[in-house]
Amino acid sequence: MALNAVMSALDTVFVRLVADEVHPLEIAFFRNLFSLITLFLILPRGERTLNGNGLWPLHGMRAVLKLVAMVTYFLAITMLPLALVTAIAFTMPLFVVLGSVVFLHENLGRHRLIALGAGFVGMLVILRPPGMEIGTGFALAVFSAVAFAGGALLMKVSSGRETPLRIVWCNLLITVPIALLVTMPVWVWPSPQALALMALQGIGGLFAQLSVARAMKLADASMVIPVDFLRLPIAALLGLALFGEPLKLWVLLGGTVIFAGVIYSARAESRLARLST
């Protein structure tokens, strides 16, 4: 989980470093392309098939949602400090909770209400009304979190019939050609340096996903999810060191409040799961 946190923070750095040369649409294409190549090399031959197990419509919807989420996230990174984008990204699990109640008709227990309330309070702390204005970058970051949450819900629906690796494989098979198609109007040939950074981004992003899956198998979610909070201080320090972004106390505090709600909800879900077995 710590590897995922580090790679997620570095992801924002890679985008910022190449965004002056490469459009976010193209960054998303290369990120998915290098993830697909890496997965092709590590996936057992028998699983590199076009058999969607009847889930291609779900895979297609998730691919589009994920691509939209990724591009809006990358655009937000070019407009906002890294720590602020990272803090807003912490709202994604809360949108998953809300979506699971609305669309999957799951129960909204007290712990989920508390988590959603913590997310709302954390966002107010970040915004410091009437302080920070809700501009385009902020709206894109929130929209990205919502879209990523939608993708997570679709993955949850399909996880009963496919393994996580196969879900990622099918998703990338759809995402890469779509990303290439929408990138063509803004296509530029990246420099070797930019291409190398995007390769690291794609490979690291894939292994970050695999590390989360492995972490969840090795320990309860309530134990490993708190480690993901490392993303925020790492992103804040990288923003300060590489781009001269000042450390904003309210961003760190708001992100902490949001993530505290996520941790509380995860621990409550784990406790309820143990009681039901």
Which tens digit of pLDDT belongs to each residue from 228-254? 888 889 999 999 999 999 888 888 999
Name the pLDDT band for 44 (thresholds 50, 70, 90).
confident
- Which percentage of the chain shows pLDDT scores above 70? 94
> Which pLDDT belongs to residue 68?
95
Report residue 246 as tokens: 């000042």
Ranges of each domain in the chain: 2-276
Sign of CA dihedral 6, 8, 12, 18: positive
Average pLDDT, the chain: 87
What is the spatial distance between Cα 112 and Cα 132, in angstroms, rounded to a whole number?
Answer: 28
Q: What is the pLDDT of residue 67?
A: 94
Query: Is the pLDDT at 52 greater than 60, yes or no?
Result: yes
- What average pLDDT does range 21-42 have in this prediction? 95
Distance CA 158, CA 58 (A): 7
Tally of residues, the chain? 277
The average pLDDT across 62-84 equals 93
pLDDT of res. 196? 96
pLDDT digits (tens, 9 = 90+) for 192-227: 999 999 999 999 999 988 888 787 777 766 667 777
